[in-house]
Amino acid sequence: MRDHILKVQTASVGHSRRYGVTASDSWLLSRVFLMFPWISLTLSVGVLLLILQQTLPLSIQTDPQAADRVAEKMAQLQMAMQVSQPHAWILNEAELNQWMRDNLVIASAHQAQQAGIPVPVGSEPVCKRFNPH
């Protein structure tokens, strides 16, 4: 009878080893499943903090003489265009910022119509009151 019991026990141990699951493996899996909520919470908080982290503002180059240099370069470009001569127009960051500040003014639809500039449909914000009844 004792031989029969030993055979069953060795057969069950051999069966579990065949599938690669041992007692220490099941203990490790249960520990991982118990720790999984805490690990996922920690990772989620870490990612959220990385997303919400404030960064330093970008440094924008400005130069008081940039407007004069842009005007001079624009005059050179216009002269080259009048005589049909190719011209390379290179602006540094400060000159480009000054040119955009002077020329890319956002106008209202009324101002654009007064200047004769066609206004695309839907460009003016509309505030409507919602009445569900």
The answer to whether residue 133 sits within a structural domain is no
Asked whether residue 122 is domain-assigned, the answer is: no
Flag whether pLDDT at 9 surpasses 50. no
Instruction: Note the pLDDT of residue 33.
Output: 85
> Could you give the number of structural domains in the chain?
2
Residue 60: inside a domain: no
Place of tokens 């699951």: 21
| In a shared domain, residues 41 and 73 | no
Residue 30 lies inside a defined structural domain of this protein? yes
**The pair of three-digit structure tokens given for residue 28, joined into one six-digit string:** 């490790």
| Mean pLDDT (the chain, rounded) | 75
**0.75 surpassed by pTM:** no
Q: What is the mean pLDDT of residues 92-120?
A: 73
Domain residue limits at 81: 66-114
Same domain, 74 and 100: yes
| Residue 124 belongs to some domain of the structure | no
Q: Does any domain span residue 90?
A: yes
Same domain for 71 and 46, yes or no, is no
Tell me what pLDDT residue 49 has. 94
Distance between alpha carbon 70 and the CA centroid of its chain, in Å? Answer: 33
Answer whether residue 10 is part of any domain: yes
Q: What's the whole-number mean pLDDT along residues 92-108?
A: 77
Residue 59 domain-assigned (yes or no): no
Least trusted range by pLDDT, from 29-43, 74-88, 91-105, 112-126: 112-126
> Is the pLDDT reported for residue 77 higher than 60?
yes
62 versus 16: the higher-pLDDT residue is: 62
Per-residue pLDDT, averaged over 26-47, amounts to: 90
Look up residue 96 and give its two tokens: 């480009």
Query: Is there a single domain that holds both residue 74 and residue 110?
Result: yes
Instruction: Please give the pLDDT value at position 59.
Output: 83
Cβ neighbours for 76, distance < 8 A, ≥ 6 positions apart: 87
Identify the pLDDT of residue 128: 58
pLDDT digits (tens, 9 = 90+) for 21-36: 676 778 888 888 899 9
Q: Are 73 and 89 in contact (CB under 8 A)?
A: yes
